[in-house]
Structure 1
Amino acid sequence: MIFASWSGGKDSALAFYFASQKFGKVDHIFTMFSEDCGRTRAHGLKLEHIRAQAESLGAELIFACASWQSYEDVFSIVISSNFAGGLGVFGDIDIQEHLDWVVRVCTSNNVGVFEPLWGMDREEVLERFIRLGFRAKVVRVKKGYEELLGRELDEDFIELAKKLNIDLCGEHGEYHTFVYDGPIFKFPIPTEDLEYGIQD
């Protein structure tokens, strides 16, 4: 049983792609929502958008809702209940504390870890994403980066991110994306009802 930790954004989509290439398929996507189940953590996406992605991916969606304080406990319960003995796919790039958390929590719940993006250069991550034919829009930004909102992730975006002198992959929360098309999707996902906002 293979699941992908799924935010709805570019890194989780690219990790899903590499996992499906390596293992043949990814069975589930697992998404964490805020405690009221209204929106995904960080990206601020509604359940309907994640459901649409899951349908296009051909993967079963499993989701849970938690506060930041209860996040690890809820995450652990879900993976131990659904994926013990299986493998989790994550889109971390090079923030060591993120990797350490994933390995610790998964290992303690008898779940293996696959981190296909680990150690990749930031610009290479974006270039690979674009070259593979993925399409994504920026849906949430930190205050001060409003000019990124609604932009497509493309070569022009990379140049703008460089101009703004931000982490190219938004690893410090500068921006978050919604992936709506690409090689892992059976059909493109409508984006007309996406909501764009500033990170709290």
Structure 2
Amino acid sequence: MTEAWVSLFSGGKDSSWALYRALETDLPVERLLTVHPDDGSYMYHVPETRLARLAAESIGIELVEVDPDEAGRGIEESGARGDAELEPLERALGDLGADLDLAGVTAGAVESEFQTSRIQGMCDRLGIELFAPLWGRDPRDLADAMLDAGFEIRVVQVAARGLDESWLGRVLDEEAFDELRTLHEEYGVHVLGEGGEFETLVTDGPHMARPIEFDYETEWDGTRGRLRVTDAWLGE
């Protein structure tokens, strides 16, 4: 069997950038793997992961989807919950390893030691490599690289002081990232939302044949909110 890589993929900007960089460096990515977590997950991007199906179709790589099981539910301690949440992902990769000569996975972590250490431990147990091209990079440099590459990034959830309802559905362009840098100075908001301050969806990019388009409603409780996608399709 030919060596193969799997991209841990949510459809958000960070996992999409890790996939894009893997493809740019000629890593043979044979599968995308999306975990659909429960709200409040400690390990995974949560909102609108079902749109990963459209992204995978546009990218042209087969998608494997993992629905949440009972792992992690009811566990309050963050480390134990993170470990439990990793179990369905590790099982799915083990299953893929039976069909593929699995060489490694891509991941979009920037600064989260909580996530990265667990993914690295999983890779060590499976005997595979980890490709994490965002790890340790300057957030603003990464934002500029994404824009320069032609990524179209939409905000689908916000949960931080300084981010109001107007950010929901907003395209993250140069002006938006300048505002996020100001919000970082004022409130500590991470420029890439690494601490869960906001979540995103990549709707177009150089690795995609067709853009994702969608209709949505917004939910806002006064301090945080999200988009609820009501319909989605691939554009021309």
What is the TM-score when the length of structure 2 is the normalising length? 0.75
Matched with 1:8 is 11
Greater Rg by CA = 2
The question of whether the paired residues in 2 share the 8 Å contact of 1:43 and 1:139 is answered with no
Matched with 1:55 is 57
Aligned counterparts of 1:101 and 1:43: Cα–Cα separation in 2: 18
Whether 2:85 is the aligned partner of 1:85: answer no
The residue identity in structure 2 corresponding to 1:186 is A
Counterpart pick for 1:115 among 101, 107, 132 = 132
Unaligned runs of 5+ in 2: 73-83, 227-236
The question of whether the paired residues in 2 share the 8 Å contact of 1:2 and 1:89 is answered with yes
Aligned counterparts of 1:42 and 1:90: Cα–Cα separation in 2: 12
Matched with 1:182 is 205
Whether 2:171 is the aligned partner of 1:152: answer yes
Q: Identical aligned pairs, as a percentage?
A: 26
The residue identity in structure 2 corresponding to 1:136 is I
Matched with 1:45 is 48
Structure 2 CA distance for partners of 1:79 and 1:139, relative to 1, 3 Å: same
Structure 2 CA distance for partners of 1:153 and 1:104, relative to 1, 3 Å: same
**1:112 positional shift:** 1.6
The question of whether the paired residues in 1 share the 8 Å contact of 2:111 and 2:194 is answered with no
How many residue pairs get matched? 195
Aligned counterparts of 2:219 and 2:209: Cα–Cα separation in 1: 25
Aligned counterparts of 1:68 and 1:178: Cα–Cα separation in 2: 26
Unaligned runs of 5+ in 1: none
Matched with 2:180 is 161
Give deviations 1:38-90, integer Å, cap 9, x for gaps. Answer: xxx5331052x111000001011111122560421111100111036321001
**1:137 positional shift:** 0.5
Aligned counterparts of 2:200 and 2:38: Cα–Cα separation in 1: 21
Report the 3-state secondary structure (helix = DSSP H, G, I; strand = E; otherwise coil) of the residue aligned with 1:54. helix
Structure 2 CA distance for partners of 1:180 and 1:136, relative to 1, 3 Å: same
Report the 3-state secondary structure (helix = DSSP H, G, I; strand = E; otherwise coil) of the residue aligned with 1:129. helix
The residue identity in structure 2 corresponding to 1:151 is R
Matched with 1:97 is 114
Report the 3-state secondary structure (helix = DSSP H, G, I; strand = E; otherwise coil) of the residue aligned with 2:22. helix
Report the 3-state secondary structure (helix = DSSP H, G, I; strand = E; otherwise coil) of the residue aligned with 1:27. strand
Aligned counterparts of 1:24 and 1:80: Cα–Cα separation in 2: 20
The residue identity in structure 2 corresponding to 1:2 is W
Which stretch of the first structure deviates more once superposed, 85-94 or 130-139?
85-94
Aligned counterparts of 1:129 and 1:54: Cα–Cα separation in 2: 19
The residue identity in structure 2 corresponding to 1:126 is A
Aligned counterparts of 1:196 and 1:187: Cα–Cα separation in 2: 28
What is the TM-score when the length of structure 1 is the normalising length? 0.88
The question of whether the paired residues in 2 share the 8 Å contact of 1:136 and 1:179 is answered with yes
Report the 3-state secondary structure (helix = DSSP H, G, I; strand = E; otherwise coil) of the residue aligned with 2:203. strand
Matched with 1:65 is 67
The residue identity in structure 1 corresponding to 2:19 is F
